[in-house]
Structure 1
Amino acid sequence: MILALDPAGFLGELSVSFWIPTAVLTAALAIKLPSIIRMWRDPLLRAVGGLLLFACAVFVFAAPRTIRWTNRVTGVPNISAPWVYSLITALCASWLLLIIAWRNGRSDAAQTRRVTRWVVAVYAGVVVALWVLFALADVPVERTRDLDTYYANTPFMREEILLYLLAHTVACSITARLIWNWIRTDGLDAWLRWGLGLLGAGYATNLFFDAAKLTALVARWTGHDLDWLSTNLAPAGACVSATLVAVGFIVPHVGQYLHERWHVRLRHCGLAPLYQLMRTVTGEREPFAPHAPAELRLIRRETFIRDALLQLSRHLDEDLRARSYDSALALGFEPDRARALAAAVTLLDAAGGARPLRADGTGSPSGPDTAYLLQEIQAVSGALRHPDEITAVRARAAAPAESVPAHD
């Protein structure tokens, strides 16, 4: 997720690879923003918001055009260096603050505040040191792609580069380790586990960025030239890391949302057989609203079906239901499936008009039992999707009583 000054130039030239992580980070921030605004007092949400905001800022201000613009406006060559490094350091601090709020925010408030203050103080000190070192360094030649290696042997600038890389490596290592330990704990939601896995992979990829940068610096110190590690390879790791981290924040929310929407649509479609049957009974149909939310259409379908079942209840033959249930059990169906098939047989019998209307509900000594039908419409509708099973149960239920074994 991190970009130094020279990687920004590389990514700026390759606009696609630069803007992909920027776009994903912005999307993640947009998804989280309503919750952050609504529950601003929640330290966890503030930490997430700060992380995504700083991540976006790093990519924006590390772009080569932005670097040149900043240097030109201020009139100070390479002043973008301490500015971008400061954003990187703030981003590192936000990683740690997020983990602190995520893991301990609700368990030990006093300890959380102490650790939070310590992290803020340390990384604020790093930011101050970055600006002091830049003021002491002599860096007159503007570099938009290879500043780290170009000034690797320059007094004070060398220390500044090492300082921001050290702060980044420490924060990334701690964050990645805590996240991977957390993934192994029990009781995590599947979507959260996937999101944490992507976050862990993203932070681990950042270590690849650090390794490439530090290797290029050491090569410069020893008189060798491995600048391509810093200029070309490290930025690629930064792009992958930024994308993984951003998607890691998106997955739990978008995944859960899509899962819920898909579940609602499946339930709506699952009621289609029973809905079609009830339409033949009432001669009506549910209100047609193609642009209504999926939840509302599901509620309308469920309401329509239950109202129709109540109208049909006086036609239900409870004796036929009992015989069908025993027959389904005898055919080897599980009790829950047997009840659904028995209800389907009874509904088809009543809807077919084969039995006379019972205005007083005297189809059985206790009257028709609609409680199961009203509660388990999904199961009954599912049974209606298997006419061969219904036919088998109906045929066995219609056989002479002595041929159907009784069940308690």
Structure 2
Amino acid sequence: MSLVVYLAACVFGLTSVLLLRRPRTALRNPLTLSTCAAVALGALVFVCAAPASLATVNELTGVPNFGAPLTYGMLSAYSCAVLVLLINWRGGPRERVRRMVLRSIAAYGLLVAAIVVLFTLADADTERLTDLDTYYAATPFMREMILLYLLGHSAAMLAMCVVCLKWGREVRGLLRTGLRLILLGALLDVLGFQLTKYTAVVARWTGHDLDFLSTTVAPPMASLAALLCSAGFVLPRLLPPVLAHWRGLGDYRRLEPLWSLVRSVSTAPEPPTAWWQLPQARLQWREVSIHDGLLTLAPYFDHRVRERVRDSALRAGRSPHQARLAAEAAMLTDAARRAAAREEPPGTTGTYRLHATEVSGPGGLVELAQALNRPPAQAAAPDGTAPSSLSGPLAEPEEPHVA
């Protein structure tokens, strides 16, 4: 059973690390801080509840069953952290949020103190690592301690269910999906963990033996509930940036034809190539470098090439936007050829803004890069030669062939 419990602790711990990936920012955000606190305490609960951990704690302290109040205290602290998280997540006037947080901390602080006092007064000299709840279900003071920690945890989980149900009708998107996962995890905790614990304890009170519910059924149900709750906490917070970085990686790759065309004339600093550099940062560096290269090539733009290719594309049935992209791609390719050959700028230069420079974000550059891979129908350049279809790095001018 320790393996299952430790696995749940690892899931909670990994969730906490992902949420706290930027410690300085997280510590200034009450919502992120309370989320990390709740998830970290959940991990500690599972670590403390593992039979191997209980045995180690009991041995180190020399007190039989000392791990019980430690685990129950951690579980109560986790329940409090869940309530604080819900309060911060829900938001509202700052004073009201602060007042509710302080009340929750005070209530569960008293609960933890009561658990410690009851354990101190109880007679629990026989060490029980897996069935303490049922073994001491009828023992004075231990009985009250067990019932008290279960009631405290039930209150927090039921409050979570109510908030998730109410709030889930008011929100949409990933937040609603996250709330549904948290609700499912909370319900599984209530029905799969707490109800089985209550049933096994009450069965002991009435002289029956249903200990397997507490020792066999409850732990895996709690672990599965923890997995669902952690997924619900993480999904609305981490999935949007993950998707943004994924899209950034796709745009970074789609810009390769354009970057290959202008990289030799770009004077921007060389972008970082460290393996840990996030796709969004790489994309921003590539955008800056490409824009710098476009500025360098601007004097070499030949508008006769652009107009001829545009007219040809329109006659071929392309939309005005597609024709403009094809024309700009041909003009840019011709400018790159002139720059590589160190030719004089054409006499048709003038003020012209590429579509890629008129729109924000990488979308315009991506469209231009993809247009470079779709050469238009052959249109004669002003000097009677076909416009170059360069799409790779700038090539050196060829030596003239001597017969």
Per the normalisation by structure 2, the TM-score is 0.78
Match of 1:199 in 2: 182
Answer 1 or 2: which has greater helix percent: 1
1:377 equivalent in alignment to 2:377: no
- In the other structure, the counterpart of 1:236 is 220
**C-alpha spacing 1:247/1:310, structure 2 compared with 1 (3 Å):** same
Q: Take 1:29 and 1:377, find their aligned partners in 2: how far apart are those partners?
A: 37
Identify the residue that residue 224 of structure 1 maps to in structure 2.
208
From 57, 60, 66, the counterpart of 1:79: 66
Inter-partner Cα distance in structure 2 for 1:343 and 1:326: 12
- Matching residue's letter, 2:189: N
Q: Deviations over 1:324-363 (max 9, x none)?
A: 445545655444333222322333455566xx96736425
The SS at the match of 1:141 is coil
Q: Which structure carries more relative contact order (alpha carbon 8 Å, separation 6+)? A: 1
**CA separation of 1:102 and 1:132: change in aligned 2, threshold 3 A:** same
CA displacement at 1:34 relative to structure 2: 5.8
Distance 1:344 1:137 in 2: 83
Distance 1:320 1:170 in 2: 74
Partner AA of 1:20 in structure 2? L
Determine if the alignment matches structure 1 residue 124 to structure 2 residue 112: no
Structure-2 change in CA distance of 1:37 and 1:346 (3 Å): closer
Q: 2:185 touches 2:228 (CA, 8 Å); kept in 1?
A: yes
- 1:193-239 per-residue CA deviation (whole Å, 9 max, x = no partner) reads 55444333322221121122122223333333322111111100111
Find out whether 1:47 has 2:31 as its counterpart. no
Number of residues of Structure 1 aligned to a counterpart in Structure 2: 372
Opposite residue 150 of structure 2, the aligned amino acid is: L
In 1: Cα distance, 2:331 partner to 2:172 partner: 42
Q: What's the counterpart of residue 255 of structure 1?
A: 239
- 2:290 corresponds to: 305
Q: Please list the CA deviations of residues 349-389 of structure 1 after superposition, one character each: whole Å capped at 9, or x if unmatched.
A: 55566xx96736425xxx251443545322111222334xx
Per the alignment, do residues 360 and 109 of structure 1 end up closer, same or farther by CA in structure 2, a change over 3 Å counting?
A: same
Give the Cα–Cα distance (whole angstroms) in 1 for the partners of residues 28 and 268 of structure 2: 48
Distance 1:299 1:327, change over 3 A: same
SS of corresponding position for 2:348: coil
Partner of 2:323: 338
1:168 maps to 2:153:
yes
Aligned to 2:229: 245
Query: In the alignment, what sits opposite 2:274?
Result: 291
In structure 1, distance between residues paired with 2:282 and 2:100 = 49
- Following superposition of structure 1 onto structure 2, how do residues 319-358 of structure 1 map, counting pairs within 5 Å? 319-322=304-307, 324-325=309-310, 328-329=313-314, 331-351=316-336
> Cα RMSD (Å) of the superposition?
3.5
For structure 2, the residue ranges without an aligned partner over 5 or more in a row are 359-363, 383-403
Tell me if the contact between 1:324 and 1:345 (Cα under 8 Å) persists in the aligned partners.
yes
Q: Give me the whole-angstrom Cα distance separating, in 2, the residues matched to 1:127 and 1:304.
A: 59
Distance in 1 (CA, whole Å) between partners of 2:24 and 2:348 is 60
SS at match of 1:54: helix
Distance in 1 separating the partners of 2:108 and 2:269:
61
Which of residues 77, 85, 104 is equivalent to 1:98?
85
Once the two structures are superposed, what CA deviation does each residue of 1:145-203 show, in whole Å capped at 9, x if it has no partner? 01111222333322322221111111101113313433443465x3x555444333322
2:140 corresponds to 1:155: yes
- Does the 8 Å CA contact 2:301/2:335 hold for their aligned counterparts? yes
- Which residue of structure 1 lines up, in the alignment, with residue 48 of structure 2? 61
Bigger drift between 125-134 and 319-328 goes to 319-328
Mapped contact 1:327–1:396 kept (Cα < 8 A): no
Q: What is the rounded CA distance, in whole Å, between the counterparts of 1:396 and 1:241 in structure 2?
A: 69
* 373 and 223 in structure 1: CA distance in 2 versus 1, 3 angstrom threshold: closer
Q: Distance in 2 between matches of 1:316 and 1:164?
A: 76
Give the one of 69, 89, 94 matched to 1:109. 94
User: Matched residues in 1 for 2:37 and 2:368: separation?
Assistant: 50
Give, as a single letter, the amino acid of the residue that structure 1 aligns with 2:374. H
Q: Secondary structure at the match of 1:76?
A: coil
Q: CA-to-partner distance for each residue in 1:250-278, whole Å, 9 max, x for gaps?
A: 44454344333323222221112223334
Distance in 1 separating the partners of 2:268 and 2:167: 51
Give the TM-score normalised by structure 1: 0.77
User: How does 1:30-45 map onto structure 2 within 5 Å?
Assistant: 30-33=17-20, 35=22, 38=25, 40=27, 42-45=29-32
Per the TM alignment, residue 92 of structure 1 is displaced from its structure 2 partner at its CA by: 0.6
The one-letter code matched in structure 1 to 2:283 is L
8 Å CA contact 1:327–1:397 kept in 2: the answer is no
Q: Which moved more, 1:179-188 or 1:110-119?
A: 179-188
